[in-house]
Structure formats: structure tokens, C-alpha cells
Amino acid sequence: MPDASTLPASSSPAPRIAVVTGAKGGLGSAIVRELESTGRFAKVFAPGRSDLDVTAADSVARFFGELDRIDLLVNNAGLTRDVPIARMAEDQWDKVIDGNLRGAFLCSRAALKLMIRQRSGLIVNIGSFSALRPPPGQAAYAAAKAGLIGLTQSLAEEAGKRNVRVNCVLPGFLEGTGMTRDLPADVIELARQSHVLGRFNTPVEAARFVAFLDTLEAVSGQVFQLDSRLRRW
């Protein structure tokens, strides 16, 4: 759990703090490493599920309640259960919606209380191209990620006057992660052909963009698609 007493003392400016949820996967861990490498943060928290269950309001309140400030929240936690709607059980739907959308809402709400008090901060929601053009079997995942775009833009409207920025990043297919390892080779090749550069991003490249957003103080409410597909809808 975070312990503010271990953070380095500083008068001005205050030591900057980042929190990355879902940091155990390929993209999440790359984001943590990239943020740490920038030198812009005194501490980058990457809580595991035992420290932060993003779907449980009490767990979220407890984790963020121990922070004195937060300058960057990356809502990266998520999951998918690819099942056609006709065969999808309600608990399968609920788990996907909770893991991708409820978790982002709970963490954003908790972080926002600190950011409003500071009158500064950035929330980055990690979305998916499935929100724009969902494949068969991903109705729950696509609905959750589309909701995440709506959450991003609505929250940006609400928080902008308090100097809090909110953006959404669609990282696309990422080499070396489950999304490319677990799909059939012909599906991956077809997806690669839809990119005008003929290649996918890597987790490191996507992480660099997330870190770059931290430097853009006049950008909020935007959805960034990190690939070379020309079609969105």
C-alpha cells in the first residue's frame, strides 16, 4: 500500500505521483517503466489486485485515501471474455463491464478529488479500437470501451475548469502481448495488412505516448488511436 511518509520531502514543487492500474501486463508494465524513466515522478505506484481491486469501491477508497496527491492516473486495468451475446451469461457481461468501465469510474472519481484540490492532474484511460469497430463476440468489451470514451469526454468537460485533463488512448494491436500471441496467424496477418505501415506498435511505443501526454498541458477530452489504420468507423 502507498505510504506517503516514504516519499522524498520537497517544498516546491510537490513531488509528483503517478498510479497505473493493471500494471502487471505487457502494456501496463511498460507504462510504469517509461514513467519512471522520465524522472518527472517521485513515485509511480503499480498496485496489484491485493492492494487495489478497481471494481470494489471500498478498496479504491482505501488505496487513494492513503495518497496525499496524485498527478497522473492511468486506467489500464481491463479484461475481455469473447462470447457471442446469445450465449453470454449475465455474470460474464458484468465482469467485463466492471473490469473495464466501473473500475475506471471508481478510480477516476477517487483521483479527481485529489486533483481538484491540487487544481492539476491528468487521467489517461486506456481504450480499444473495438470501441469503434467491434469484432464478433466482443459486445461486452466493445460496450465497455465505448463507454470509456464517453466517460473520458464527459469528465474532461467537468474537470477542465479545475485544470484537470482527461484523455483516452487506443493502443491498437501490440506486438509480443496476448492480443497478438493468442490470435490465429491468419487473423493477425489480415489485421497487419489493414495498417498502412504494415506493422503494429510495441508496448514500449504505446507507453512512450502515454508518458508524452503528461507533457501536453493544453490537451484534454481527446481520443488517440495509436496505429496506422485509416478507417475508424
Alpha-carbon distance of 21 to 32, in angstroms, equals 10
Kindly report the backbone phi and psi dihedral angles of residue 224, in degrees, each rounded to the nearest multiple of 5, phi listed first. Answer: -110, 120
Catalytic annotation present for 141: yes
- Which residue out of 105, 141, 173, 200 is catalytically annotated? 141
Q: How far is CA 230 from CA 30, 152, 196, 202, 227, in A?
A: 26, 23, 8, 19, 9
Kindly report the backbone phi and psi dihedral angles of residue 152, in degrees, each rounded to the nearest multiple of 5, phi listed first. Answer: -55, -50
Sign for the pseudo-dihedral over CA of 101, 104, 107, 113: negative
- Give the active site residues: 141
